[in-house]
Amino acid sequence: MNWVKEAESKLRDYAAKEQSLESVAERIAQLQAEMTCVRSATTDSTAVHGGGNCREDALLNNIVERSELERARDLAVSWLEWVNKALRALTDTDRHLLDVFYINRHKGHVERLCEEMNIEKSQVYNRKNAALRKFTISLYGVTET
């Protein structure tokens, strides 16, 4: 397995995972609000053969979706904690390099880093590769198998 490629993938996914926490939280809140608006099922009607009525279905669907979203949120939180722990093991400069190269990449990022760090392109790439290696080791304990 190429652990460095896996680490690069984690860094590229980082911003989206962070964003997912916000969007999932909003959807869970929306579902909770809908839950309070849904009328309770009546018990005096006869159930249709093979299922409940529309209100019962809406309640069940709401509960299932909230449950799945809460599970997805918990997985994303765990994933972010794992990646953040590896990032915290790096120096500020190494974190900045990985952030600019992978997490918040913009056009002209290498040139910007050259100007910021007052070094040549080849040195930027060498430092990025060294930072990525450190991150990979912090994340997985190995760089290659």
Model pLDDT for residues 3-19, shown as the tens digit of each residue: 999 999 999 999 999 99
Task: Examine the pLDDT at 70 and tell me if it is beyond 70.
Answer: yes
Terminal C-alpha separation, the chain: 6
pTM above 0.85, yes or no: no
pLDDT of residue 97: 97
Q: Calculate the dihedral angle through the C-alpha atoms of 13, 14, 20, 25, rounding to the nearest 10 degrees.
A: 160
Residue 129 or 142, more confident:
129
Distances (CA, A) of 99 to 4, 55, 142: 16, 48, 21
Which residue stretches of the chain are H helix? 3-37, 54-88, 92-98, 109-117, 121-140
Cβ–Cβ under 8 Å, residues 98 and 128: yes
| Calculated CA dihedral for residues 85, 89, 92, 98, nearest 10 degrees | -70
Amino acid at residue number 19: Q
Tell me what the mean pLDDT of segment 38-61 comes to. 68
User: pLDDT at residue 46 above 90?
Assistant: no
Least confident of 61-65, 128-132, 140-144: 140-144
If you average pLDDT over residues 48-69, what whole number do you get? 83
For 80, other C-beta atoms within 10 Å of its C-beta total: 16
